[in-house]
Chain A
Amino acid sequence: MTEDKFLTIVAKALDIKKNKISIKTKIADLEEWDSLGHLAILSALDKSSKKKVSKIPKIAESKNLQSIYNKIKKIN
C-alpha cells in the first residue's frame, strides 16, 4: 500500500479532507480521531488489506499514522 493510498483511506474513514492529514499526524492532532475514529481507520485499512491489518499484533495501540503505516508496510 502506498503512503498516498493509505492517507486516502484514513481521510475517508474519518470523513475529512485528505489535505487535513499527513503521515506525521498524531491522534491528538485531530478532533475527528477519537476512539470511534480510531476504530473506523483500522476497519477501513483492514477492509482494503483483505483482513491483514486485524492480524497485526497491538495495531490498535498505535497513536500516529506513521506507526500504523509502518506496521502495515511490514506485512505487505
Chain B
Amino acid sequence: MKKIFKPNLTTDLIIKALKKCKIHRKSSFLDLGCGNGIIGREIAKEFNLKKVHGSDISLKAIKKSRQLVKKGGTEYLYKVGDCLEPWKNYKFDIISCDVAGISEDIASISKWYNGVSCKTGSSGLNLVNRILKKIDKFLNKNGVFVIPIISLCNTKILIQNLTKKFKKTKIILSTDWPLEKKILKEIKKKELKSNQNWKIFNKFGISCCNTKIMICKLND
C-alpha cells in the first residue's frame, strides 16, 4: 500500500530555511516532493503567497494536500508526478526539494519510508541527481533552490554536484539527530558498509546523523 510520507525533522528544517529566504507575495514557489503539502501551506502563511505549486509521486499525497488547503488568499496547484516532470514549461523563483534523499540501503531497514516510494539507490542520490540535471530549466534567473543534505546519503558527491551546478551555495542550517537504535542494530547485523560516504557519528555516546539545509542560487 502506498502511504504518504509524514513530515519529519527535514521538513521542519526546510520550512525554517525557507522562512529565512527573501520571498514575497508574488514569488513563484514550488514544493517538490510535497507529501501532505505542509511546506507549501506554512510558506504561504508566512509570506502571504499568491500561489503555491506542489508535486509528489504519490496520488494519495496530492489528494491529502488538496484536502488540507484552507480557503484564503493563496491559490494552490498540486500535480502528481515524478520529480520535475509535472512542471514542464514552468519556471519558479523558489524550489524546495523534499524528495527522498537517503541511501536506499538504510531506508529499506528503517520505517521512515514504509510504503512510500524511495528509489534513491545506494548513494541516496538517484532522485536528487535527476532533479539537479534539469533544475536550471525550472528556475528563474535569480531562482533559489533549497535542499537538505542528510548524512545518510553520499554527501560528498551531493555537495560536489550542487557546487558544480550553482554559482552560489550556502549551508544555512545544520542539526545533529540521534539515529534509532533499531536501525543501528540492523546496519551492524546486515554489515552495511559506508562505501557511499554516508556518515553516522558518535556524540555524547549517542549515534547521530546530521541534516544540513543548503540554499543554492544560479546567479549571485
Interface residues of A (CB under 8 A from B): 35-36, 38-40, 42-43, 46, 53-54, 58-61
The chain B residue sitting closest to A59, CB to CB, is: B204
A54 contacts across to B, CB distance below 8 A: 203-204
Give the CA-CA distance A59 to B206 in the complex, in Å.
10
Nearest Cβ in chain B — how far from A61, in angstroms? 8
Main secondary structure of the interface of B (DSSP, over half): strand
**Residue among A35, A36, A43, A61 making CB contact with B203, cutoff 8 Å:** A43
A43 contacts across to B, CB distance below 8 A: 176, 203
Total A-B residue pairs with C-beta atoms closer than 8 Å? 30
A60 contacts across to B, CB distance below 8 A: 204-206
Instruction: Give a binary string over B165-182; 1 marks a CB under 8 Å from any A CB, 0 the rest.
Output: 000000000011110000
B218 contacts across to A, CB distance below 8 A: none
Give the CA-CA distance A64 to B205 in the complex, in Å.
17
The chain B residue sitting closest to A53, CB to CB, is: B204
Give the CA-CA distance A61 to B204 in the complex, in Å.
9
Q: Is B80 on the interface with A (CB-CB < 8 A)?
A: no
